[in-house]
Structure 1
């Protein structure tokens, strides 16, 4: 993820609400992080303020920032682990890929694993289908990465995020739809 540490695109603002932080919590968290950066500056830590603005400083709740303070460099965690796991070799032997995400949203487009995987698959001519707990992106934003997107929230009015039994019940339905629509019939463009 390429978020800075602080501000409206920072770690507290972007990831706090995902973890249940209220608007007030986000302000407090961002203020505490800003105070930490000021203390580092006052203690003479070189580039502490500049590193807080660097892309990736807000990754993993601010661990990107900590790593940079220790001399580390930022790289895509998704790409790192895809390479480590030999994804390109696996993709080269694949007809299609099914990937998943709890919430397919703007953050997904900023480097989360499903999009990183889809980019690699596209380079190798492999189609990718996505299953998500919810999808807040319009079809024109997902089409560049995924041949199809199915969201559990499209199948029920109940809250899938807090009901793992409901999610477990709905996933086979997604699998059947995927098999019927895209695999069994070949998933032609007219099926979109």
Structure 2
């Protein structure tokens, strides 16, 4: 009988919905949560985690952010001075909906090398799959993700704007907005430099 402190989340049961779109193994994994597709339905009230591959609308903005993360990791790994003798990896998830975003968060929090999240009295020595989370780029989704990640002491860097902070939305420990790649008037162009860097110069 499994210990009561072990919360079985059955991540493998919804593997089709939560499987990382891009994966690179490293000594330390980063989890990227980006909207590669836009779901045509609202599934917040559904217990079913729908696959993002079924979404009809491709979001180039989210894809561009994912490529920027891949480029940054590759640049760090190829440098002999930034992190010598250490390699970074990434698992990039498609957050096409609220449930897909939350499921990707749980995948990032799964025990390293496992498919479940262990609930402990203290998470000081807990080793999740990802050491940090990048994204999502929606303020609402980012704050929801931060609320869960903060319990496990996992930092989050989001491209979401800080507009909600002015409206009294409480900030979460370990949450930081980068100010890049936000899809709203006056901010959408901020991701352009990262997108340009991630493109193949030969094209």
Q: Which has the higher contact order (CA 8 A, sep 6+)?
A: 2
Larger Cα-atom Rg: 1
